[in-house]
Homo-oligomer: A and B are copies of this chain.
């Protein structure tokens, strides 16, 4: 297996954008190709994560359609789907394809267009990430799932509502510095815990907003990276795992096996552990998700995550900066785009040009979760001159 590097990145802002998935996806891919300076005939394949364009926009085959639109017709293109982890999967398939020697250069992207949808249609679309025959029919939405999760977490570990709200306070403060974020206004603990009730005990500011957006990266064999950039980001390791799709199958409601397993794979491939990670973008679709994820990824002991946030240990400048981009809570969550959007933010950090820079960041991690723990990808990235 060959080492693989990211040699170009491109993204849209995340927010309320004009255009559907073809437009947005093509825009991000074109920007990434331009950033890498790669010629279209040299692109071996295109992997595009998308989740709900079929439901919301009546558009399938997003991968092939973006390929044709952006001038990559001919190259094998596909859509990868794993609910909100759709583009984390795209990245991993892309990495594998270069690592194996099949292609020298490929593109991985993610795209979603959601904000035009009416609420019932939107809820149905996102709800399709759950197992319809078990949780779906009960009416358990994702805010509902994470409400139960938060209740259980506070019960098990004695965390307070205010500690949990600190996730949103931190991420909104981070997002205020990120021009790509949908929400750029800070919030206070009081505003979070007093915001409108969504799914008890979850409040509005515990929940990430929807967004439209697309992100893309160009991957190349590391020994070719110098042809495209002076500033490559190495893909040190990736993990991809499934868990259970429904809460009744979990041994422990606040531990998502898919995250634990994907992290284990990614750390093993990278030859590092959680303590080696300098900057993290993880899947904070809801405030309790960030807390649980930070534990499942090995940054804190089980039950310590909420206190760690409240103590500022995950701020920029803290021991493990988490979501300096503002995370899903600030940037918004264009579901199919989120995974590669995270990778984009980590690349900016490792290249040292992020608007909310973690000093001397050399190793970064992106964590992308689909469903109520159904599927997860973890990507460990390293600065190209790190070694």
Contact = CB atoms under 8 A, between A and B. Distances in A.
B89 A100 contact: no
A188 interface: no
A102 to B, nearest CB: 6
A186 interface: no
A191 interface: no
Contacts of A124: 58
B82 A81 contact: no
A244 interface: yes
Interface in A331-361: none
B73 A243 contact: yes
A145 to B, nearest CB: 14
Interface string A360-387: 0000000000110011000000000000
Nearest to A100: B100
A226 to B, nearest CB: 24
Interface stretch (A91-99, A150-158, A216-224, A313-321): A91-99
27 contacts: A1-B102, A52-B54, A54-B55, A55-B55, A55-B58, A58-B127, A60-B129, A61-B245, A61-B371, A62-B81, A64-B370, A65-B245, A68-B243, A69-B245, A73-B257, A74-B242, A76-B242, A77-B242, A78-B93, A78-B240, A79-B80, A79-B81, A80-B81, A96-B97, A100-B100, A100-B101, A100-B102
A290 B81 CA distance: 30
A63 interface: yes
A257 B97 contact: no
A21 to B, nearest CB: 9
A128 B242 contact: no
Interface of A: 1, 20, 22, 45-46, 50-55, 57-65, 67-69, 72-83, 89, 92-93, 96-97, 99-102, 124-125, 127-129, 131-133, 136, 240-246, 249, 257, 261, 370-371, 374-375
A173 to B, nearest CB: 32
Copy count, this protein chain:
2
A246 B52 CA distance: 22
B54 A128 contact: yes
A223 B22 CA distance: 43
Contact of A61 (B1, B69, B83, B249): B83
A27 to B, nearest CB: 14
Contacts of A371: 61, 64-65
The 5 closest A-B pairs by CB, nearest first: A100-B100, A76-B240, A60-B128, A64-B375, A79-B81
A60 B72 contact: no
Given A57-B132, A64-B370, A68-B131, 6 more contacts: A64-B245, A64-B374, A72-B242, A73-B257, A77-B242, A78-B81
A78 B77 contact: no
A58 B62 CA distance: 18
B54 A82 contact: no
Nearest to A83: B61
A241 B82 CA distance: 22
